Amino acid sequence: MPAGKGKEGAPTPACSDSIGIDALSDELLQHIIGFLEAQEAVRTCVLARCWRNLWKSAMCVRIVADEDKFLGSVEKLCSFVNRLLQHRRGNTLHTFDLVFTSFGQEMAACLYKDDYSFLKLVNDWFWHAVSCQVQVLFLNAFSRYIEDPSLLLYNKPIESRHLTRLELDGVSVQSRFLDFSNCPSLEQLEFHNCYFSDDSRFRIRAPNLVSLVLAKVWGMIPVLESMPSLVTAYVATSMESEDTCFENDCACEFCENYYKISGGTDSNRCVLLKGLSEAEHLTLFSGPQMYIFKMDLKCCPMFSKLRTLVLDDYWCVPDDFRALVCILKHSTFLQKLALQLSSKKHSQHRERKGSCANGGISCNFGTP
C-alpha cells in the first residue's frame, strides 16, 4: 500500500493497478475505516488518492475523547468534531460512538459553564447522528470528577425508524426523552449512571425492546411500561437512587406516599417488576433496603416466560427470605436460579444447598 509520504508538495499516490488492501472496493474500505477512531479515520486521507474522501462516507464514527485517546483540550475536541460532521454532510450512519470518559477536570468545568455551550454542542452531535439514520448510538459522558451526571440531553423524544440500539452512560434525561414509542426498531436500551428526577417518577416507554439494562440510577427509578418482546434484562438499583425509606421500614406511611405512581391503579402499582414480567432471563440486584423491589412485590406479577433468574444477597438476608420466596412463587417455569452472595456477613448464616462457586449458589430446576 502506498505510504503517502514523500517530498514536500509531492502529489498523493494514486491507487491504479493497486494490489492488497487498495484493490478492495470503496464499500469495503469504508467498512474497514469504520473500525478506527475518528482521529485515525481522518488521517487515512493521506494514504493514497483513492482514500482521500472515503472517511467522509464511513458508516461508523467513533469519537473517543479521554486522557489516553485525545491529546488536546476540550475546545480542540469540539472544533474537531464540528468539522468532522460538516465534512460528512449528513451521510448515513450505522454507528455513532461518542465517549468522554475520564477526560479530566477540564471536561467537568465545561459542563458547569454558565453559557452551556458545551452541553449544546454535545446535544447537537447526538441529534445530528439521529438525523443521519444511525442504528447504533453510544454516548458515554461519565466522569469520576463529577459527583452526579450533569450532561443533560434535550427533553424531546427520539423519532427514528432506524435506531436499533441506544446506550447512555453518565447523562441526565427527562420525561419526554424516555418515550421511545416512535422508535419501532429499538431492541436494545441501556442506561448506566444516569440521572432521572428527584421529585417525579418518569416512565420508560419502549414497547419493542428485546434487551434492557438499567444500572446505578440517580434520582427516582423510572417506571417500566409494558415490554412484551423482552428477552433479557439487567436491573441494579443503588444507594445513589432517591428511592429510600427514611424510617428503614418499607411498611411505613412515608413509603406508601413516596412510592405512588402517577396514573397507577391498585392492580398495576409496580415500578419495575410489571414491565419486566415478560423477560426470559432476568438479573435483579438491589441496595441494602430493597426499597423498590419490596414495594413491587406487594403486587407482584406472574413471570410466565422466565427461565433464568439471577439475584444478589439482598434478596435473601438472614431470617428474611420473603422477597425470594415471593418472586419464586410467581416464576412458575423457572429453570435456573443463581444467587450471587457477595457479603460474608450474610453468607455465613446460610444453609447452602446446590452447587456453590465463587461466592454464589446456582440451582437448576427440571424443565417443565
Whether 177 and 39 share a structural domain? no
- Whether residues 177 and 253 fall in one domain: yes
Domain tally for the chain?
Answer: 2
Domain boundary among 15, 32, 58: 58
Q: Which residue type occupies 28?
A: L
Other C-beta atoms lying within 10 Å of the C-beta of residue 215: 17
Looking at the fold, whether 353 and 293 belong to one and the same domain comes out as yes
Cβ(285)–Cβ(316) below 8 Å: no
Distances from the Cα of 206 to the Cα of 49, 227, 305, angstroms? 45, 7, 19
Is residue 1 a contact partner of residue 21, using CB atoms and an 8 Å limit? yes
Q: Which domain holds residue 147?
A: 59-259+267-364
Q: What is the pLDDT along the chain (368 residues), one digit of tens a residue?
A: 444 444 445 555 555 555 666 666 767 776 777 777 777 777 776 666 766 667 777 888 988 876 566 656 777 888 888 988 888 888 899 999 998 765 556 665 665 555 568 888 889 999 999 999 999 999 998 776 666 667 889 999 999 999 999 999 989 999 999 999 999 999 999 999 999 977 788 999 999 999 999 998 888 899 999 999 999 999 998 766 666 665 555 555 455 555 556 555 444 578 999 999 999 999 999 877 678 888 899 889 999 999 999 999 888 877 778 899 999 999 999 999 999 877 554 444 443 444 444 455 667 765 54
> Do 136 and 252 fall within a single domain?
yes
